[in-house]
């Protein structure tokens, strides 16, 4: 079964085509700068020997419809294509950012689902509209394929009320759905399943803390396989320090910025989401550059790394308290998988909790799942590469095979 996974942003479409039965990725890439003067389409196909070849097309991509059509043309290209006909694609798996409280799992898309995603636009005004555009465009280009929505928020819907309710007037939750939702759910779910496989035990028996450190960053506390808390909130701004997002700040900070610096809500939104985090503290949001600067003696970079890792460490302690016992700590995504310095700093001094890192194992390069605690350690500290697209493809296959009717919670 061939499944196309797409992640539609306001000016981009990321895609991967999977042959899920044979556990193979056939092609993938991204159409960027859609609607801008000149767009870029980067297409990578995976050759039968496992190597890949990449081609880049530059030029106007007027809208998402044209973008997806161009992607399809590359997939079915008579010379370099990976499939003969678009009809071979049985389903499209869409990444949808905000499912609100309506979606606790993956669903087949129908009119009711689209209406419920539209209802959540106020919660994710930047993400849900382009996700809906992706669904609409894919529906017109693939009229015979099933369309499936996989929500970033769904994995966190098991979080109990004591952890998701903000201590503000209850009506804000009851009428306006203001609460903690959490994001990166697909990644937290994927790496926790991978961890269970590594442990050789059912996920339902395990307590885990998963730490996703990409450009965005979040942690999840997983008790007996179910998420019970997460660091992001109603929006992805809360929690850990990120590339350009502040993570947790005093909730009164926006009033200070408005009253003393004359900033508008839009300015404040921009500062906290785009100009803060690593970038705000030391001028770059790219962790590789921050570490390089620190190695060259840049003090601001050094303190930025300390703030970044201190926040992770603080949440490890908090989630240890929430879970009461811990089997595994999982680092994932660009930084979690590739920055031993951050892993070391975040876990420093936690041996009383059974969390220890073996310096040699931590610094050893590798690609797959790696255990970086010393042998015999109480808590396994794992590095697990995330693969949100693969998880979306598998979820898509699972729901279309089981023909689960959308369950929408109201």
Chain positions contacting ligand ADP, by CB under 6 A: 214-216, 243, 286-288, 291, 333-335, 338-339
Closest distance to ligand ADP from the beta carbon of 240 (Å): 12
Give the shortest CB-101-to-ligand ADP separation in angstroms: 25
Minimal CB distance residue for ligand ADP: 334
Which of 83, 124 has the CB closer to ligand ADP?
124
Rounded to an integer, what distance in angstroms lies between the CA atom of residue 188 and that of residue 29?
23
Q: Look up residue 259 and give its two tokens.
A: 């009253």
**Identity of the residue, 285 or 373, whose beta carbon is nearer to ligand ADP in the bound complex:** 285
Q: Which is nearer to ligand ADP, 214 or 280 (CB)?
A: 214
Catalytic residue (choose from 19, 110, 152, 295): 152
The rounded distance, in Å, linking the Cα atoms of 138 and 158 is 30
CB of 335 to ligand ADP, least distance (A): 4
∠ CA 309-221-272 to the nearest 5 degrees? 50
CB of 291 to ligand ADP, least distance (A): 6
Q: Considering only CA atoms, which of 33, 3, 35 is closest in space to residue 19?
A: 3
Backbone angles phi, psi at 190, to 5 degrees: -60, -50
Q: What order of strands is seen across the sheet that includes strand 380-383?
A: 226-230, 217-223, 208-213, 328-332, 380-383, 370-371
Instruction: Give the single-character DSSP code of 353.
Output: G
The pair of structure tokens assigned to 23 is: 């556990």
DSSP H or E run through 213: strand 208-213
Min dist. Cβ of residue 336 to ligand ADP (A): 8
CB of residue 211 to ligand ADP, shortest distance in Å: 12
Element (H, E) at 406: none
Q: 147: which 2 tokens? A: 């369309």
> Between the CA atoms of 188, 113, 116 and 386, what dihedral angle is there, to the nearest 10 degrees?
10
Q: How far is the CB of 45 from ligand ADP (least distance, A)?
A: 21
Of the pair 182, 243, the CB lying nearest ligand ADP is at: 243
User: Are 14 and 7 spatial neighbours (Cβ–Cβ below 8 Å)?
Assistant: yes
Q: Quick one: 161 or 365, whose CB is closer to ligand ADP?
A: 365
Measured CA to CA, the distance from residue 225 to residue 265 in angstroms comes to 39
Q: CA of 262: how far to CAs of 129, 370, 371, in Å?
A: 30, 49, 50
Tokens of 190: 């994927």
Nearer to ligand ADP, 145 or 304 (CB): 304
Kind of pairing, strands 208-213 and 226-230?
unpaired
Q: Which is nearer to ligand ADP, 146 or 284 (CB)?
A: 284
Q: Which residues pair with 18 in a beta bridge?
A: 3, 25
Cβ atoms within 10 A of the Cβ of 311, count? 20
Directed axis angle between helix 253-261 and helix 265-274, to 10°? 120
**Identity of the residue, 176 or 288, whose beta carbon is nearer to ligand ADP in the bound complex:** 288
In angstroms, give the least distance from the CB of 216 to ligand ADP: 5
Yes or no: say if 277 and 271 are a contact pair by the CB < 8 Å rule: no
Tell me the pairing of strands 24-32 and 52-59: unpaired
Is 21 among the residues known to form the active site? no
Just list the catalytic residues: 152
């Amino acid at each position: 079964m061939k499944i196309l996974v797409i992640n539609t942003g306001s000016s981009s479409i990321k895609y991967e085509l999977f042959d899920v039965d044979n556990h193979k990725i056939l092609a993938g890439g991204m159409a960027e700068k859609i609607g801008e003067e000149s767009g870029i389409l980067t297409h990578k196909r995976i050759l039968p020997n496992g190597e890949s070849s990449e081609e880049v097309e530059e030029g106007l991509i007027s809208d998402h419809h044209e973008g997806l059509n161009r992607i399809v043309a590359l997939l079915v290209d008579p010379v370099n294509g990976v499939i003969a006909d678009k009809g071979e694609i049985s389903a499209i798996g869409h990444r949808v950012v905000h499912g609100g409280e309506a979606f606790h799992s993956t669903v087949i898309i129908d009119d009711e689902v689209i209406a419920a995603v539209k209802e959540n636009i106020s919660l994710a005004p930047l993400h849900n509209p382009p996700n809906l555009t992706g669904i609409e465009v894919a529906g017109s280009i693939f009229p015979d394929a099933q369309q499936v929505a996989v929500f970033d928020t769904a994995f966190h819907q098991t979080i109990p009320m004591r952890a998701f309710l903000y201590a503000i007037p209850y009506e804000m939750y009851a009428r306006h759905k203001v609460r903690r939702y959490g994001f990166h759910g697909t990644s937290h779910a994927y790496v926790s399943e991978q961890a269970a496989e590594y442990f050789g035990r059912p996920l339902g028996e395990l307590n885990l803390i998963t730490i996703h450190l990409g450009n965005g960053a979040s942690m999840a506390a997983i008790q007996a396989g179910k998420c019970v808390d997460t660091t992001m909130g109603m929006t992805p701004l809360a929690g850990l320090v990120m590339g350009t997002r502040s993570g947790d700040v005093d909730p009164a900070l926006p009033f200070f910025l408005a009253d003393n610096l004359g900033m508008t809500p839009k300015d404040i939104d921009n500062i906290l989401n785009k100009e803060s985090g690593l970038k705000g503290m030391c001028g770059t949001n790219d962790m590789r550059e921050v570490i390089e600067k620190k190695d060259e003696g840049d003090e601001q970079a050094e303190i930025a790394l300390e703030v970044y890792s201190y926040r992770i460490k603080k949440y490890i302690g908090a989630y240890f308290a929430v879970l009461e016992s811990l089997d595994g700590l999982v680092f994932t995504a660009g930084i979690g998988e590739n920055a031993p310095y951050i892993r070391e700093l975040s876990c420093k001094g936690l041996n009383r909790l059974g969390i220890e890192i073996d310096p040699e194992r931590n610094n050893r390069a590798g690609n797959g799942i790696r255990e970086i605690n010393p042998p015999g350690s109480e808590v396994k500290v794992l590095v697990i590469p995330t693969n949100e697209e693969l998880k979306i493809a598998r979820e898509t296959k699972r729901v279309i095979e089981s023909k689960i009717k959308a369950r929408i919670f109201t």
